[in-house]
Chain A
Amino acid sequence: MAKTTRKVPALNASSMADISFLLLTFFLLVSNMDVDSGLARRLPPPPQTEEQTTVDVQRRNLLVVLVNAQNETMVQNQQGSEWYSNSDELKGTGSKVALKDKVKEFVLNTSNSEQLPELTEEDFGPPIGIVPVTDQHVISIQNDATTSYKTYIAVQNEVVRAYNELREEGARKYFNTSYDELTDDQQKQINDLYPQRISEAEPKNYGGQ
């Protein structure tokens, strides 16, 4: 028999598109694109012994943010106290000083006031160098048992906003650029300069039931 070269018949691939469309539709339907986002926090480790449950903090180093059962907020430190009755006032829309400005003033203590946290000089490496910071300050957020979660998050958000603005200002001052554009090491330097020192205490019954 003489050998003949046989041609392979061409595969009909016209239905390939249909099949892949089918698969595509399936994955389109089952995929969910939403990325979860939120306010990140670190909880303190559980108390090991009875004595460890309380830490003494000097009065001037403490800024107390109280949220009561009527969802009103009070901010208190050695300088005095401020009362916010709703979330608009928290942002300083009324005649009141916004919570974030209070927090910023408290953390920075530019006037070296006796009533604001004590300043200690620390080295943060170039280009920041040795600058005075309030490394002992604590912002204590306390809430009542019946405070609504919404108000609590609004208050947390304002405090975080104060820190974010401080970090942004620090990045502009020392690196001449915005915080988002810094390298990881530089961001860490700024974070060390303005560490988030927020304490979340256990709830107390302030405003009654």
Chain B
Amino acid sequence: MGKFNKGGKKEMPALNSSSMPDIVFAILFFFMVTTTMRSETLMVRMKLPTASEVQKLEKKSLVTYINIGPPMETRLGTGTQMQLNDRFAQVSEIQDYIAQEKASMNEADQPLMTVSIKADEETRMQYITDVKQALRQAYALKISYSARQGQNK
């Protein structure tokens, strides 16, 4: 039968790709909306502790971060350092930092401000306690101990 002749002059029909930009735009908008441009580069090494009962921090705009850990650059030693906004800081500077972050917030959101303490799991509690006391003085009372979801080993 001639139905299955191979030598036919049939051409592959061109794929209609006119809707491809639409699809790509849809994905593009998704990423544009979900993205948060955080210019902060980490200067301290941290391995967050694990915990099973963690809660998600809901609004990113209400969260202020404090990073604690040994510095990334080994020439700076292995002592615990704290990073606030792209630079190393002392515990005594926390109050100014919190006041500054609070001022940049919407007035209605100020009581909802949460401070997320991201500390390396090897940090000594003395340092954390000093930070906590400073936060108390600065009236930043809502805190969150940042931890990874998972089982503690």
The reply to whether A36 and B135 form a contact with Cβ atoms under 8 Å apart is no
Decide if A6 is an interface residue (CB 8 Å cutoff). Answer: no
Q: Say yes or no: B21 contacts A16, CB within 8 Å.
A: yes
Q: Are B121 and A150 in contact (CB under 8 A)?
A: yes
- Chain B residues lying within 8 Å of A33, measured Cβ to Cβ, are 34
B57→A37 contact, CB < 8 A? yes
Q: Is the CB of A164 within 8 A of B53?
A: yes
**B85 beta carbon closer than 8 Å to chain A:** no
Report whether over half of chain A's contact residues are helix, strand or loop; otherwise say mixed: mixed
Q: Does B49 contact A149, Cβ atoms closer than 8 Å?
A: yes
For B21, the chain A residues whose CB sits under 8 A away are 13, 16-17, 20
Asked whether, in the complex, the Cβ of A37 is within 8 Å of the Cβ of B28, the reply is no
- Residue A148 at the B interface, CB < 8 A? yes
Main secondary structure of the interface of B (DSSP, over half): mixed
Among the stretches B6-14, B70-78, B143-151, the one at the interface with A is B143-151
Contact B147 A37 (CB under 8 A): yes
Instruction: Output the least CB separation between B56 and chain A (Å).
Output: 5
A104 CB to closest chain B CB (Å) equals 14
B119 to A43, Cβ gap below 8 A?
A: no
Q: Which residues of B contact A40 (CB under 8 A)?
A: 55, 114, 142-144
> Is B110 on the interface with A (CB-CB < 8 A)?
no
Total number of residue pairs linking A and B with CB closer than 8 Å: 152
Cβ contact within 8 Å between A148 and B122: yes
Q: A149-B123, A154-B49, A203-B125 in contact; A46/B145 too (CB < 8 A)? A: no
Say whether A153 contacts B137, CB under 8 Å: no
- Give bound CA distance, A149 to B57, whole Å: 20
| Residue with the highest number of chain A CB atoms closer than 10 Å, among B49, B128, B136 | B49
CA distance A33 to B34 in the complex (A): 8
Q: Considering only CB atoms and an 8 Å cut-off, how many residues of chain A contact the other chain?
A: 46
A28 CA / B117 CA spacing, docked (Å): 28
The answer to whether B125 touches A43 (Cβ under 8 A) is no
Q: Say yes or no: B57 contacts A146, CB within 8 Å.
A: no
CB < 8 Å neighbour of A145 from B32, B125, B148: B125
Q: How far, in whole Å, are A35 and B59 apart by their CA atoms in the complex?
A: 10
In the complex, per-residue mask of A147-159: 1 if CB is within 8 Å of any chain B CB, else 0? 1111011101100
Given contacts A38-B55, A40-B142, A41-B145, contact A145 B126 (CB under 8 A): yes
- A43-B143, A154-B49 are known contacts; what are 12 more A-B pairs with Cβ within 8 Å? A28-B31, A30-B35, A31-B31, A36-B56, A40-B144, A42-B141, A43-B142, A145-B126, A148-B123, A150-B49, A153-B49, A157-B51
Q: Which 9 A-B pairs have the closest CB atoms?
A: A31-B35, A150-B121, A27-B31, A38-B144, A145-B126, A38-B146, A157-B51, A37-B54, A147-B125
